[in-house]
Structure 1
């Protein structure tokens, strides 16, 4: 007999819910394809974002401090992952960009969790890392305007890129109006 009222059995249960188990079994066969596309798109977006003049942090970029190490460890078929960061320097700029990306161009969704097939983004300093003090954030490289993005794989890459560019152009327009 097992005591299911405390410990790990209470939290996790002795068996998985059958519906959840079935849903997982339906998704696992194509997980590799999804992860390859997730990573491929993130690498493409990181390069294009950098060409736009944005400060991008992505281990697949040659200028990332750990690029060579990660290159030696990574599975070349899966690249460097589907997460990247864009540093907008201030929280206000980060939220303005994320608001445009979500509500103006429909590029992605603001969220704390970054696990979904749509593009998700969060401003780490005021969300997932908000419990850290300023010194800890600085040591971890988390600026107030750091946006983490999990690049999704819905829609075509060009469609999503056009949505991103549309939001960035609108942000530049808004910045120009504010200087007048």
Structure 2
């Protein structure tokens, strides 16, 4: 996900919006569990070792549980990923003007 903030936002959506799984450090449970490895299970590794191992700050580690069909699980995951996309710019037409202003807006989530 690139950054720890984006990883946390994705996990927030996966847990609270789509009920895909639970944020947890232990990945030995029958339900889907996920964590941000760089700040949890691998946090004691030196940064250069994490980089060599490919553990970026935004890496989300998952243990996908067996509840639900593959299609259901995939749909939940895709819905959460879609929420990570920036919203399309809103266009405001000013009466009598030849220009359009776009508001980027921000959607910042914390878990």
TM-score w.r.t. length of structure 1: 0.48
Residue 2 of structure 2 aligns to a residue whose secondary structure is coil
> What 5-or-longer segments of structure 2 have no aligned partner?
90-102, 105-111
Please state if 1:176 is matched with 2:87. yes
In terms of Rg, which structure is larger? 1
Query: What SS does the corresponding residue of 1:176 show, helix, strand or coil?
Result: coil
What is the RMSD computed on CA atoms of the aligned residues?
1.7
Larger RCO (CA under 8 A, 6+ residues apart) = 2
Aligned pairs for 1:1-180 within 5 A: 88-172=1-85, 175-176=86-87, 180=104
More helix by share: 1
Work out the CA distance in 2 between the residues paired with 1:120 and 1:159: 16
Structure 1 gaps of 5+ residues are: 1-87
Higher relative strand content:
2
**How much does 1:162 deviate?**
1.3
Number of matched pairs: 91
Q: Distance in 1 between matches of 2:88 and 2:77?
A: 20
Residue 177 of structure 1, CA deviation: 6.2
TM normalised by structure 2 equals 0.75
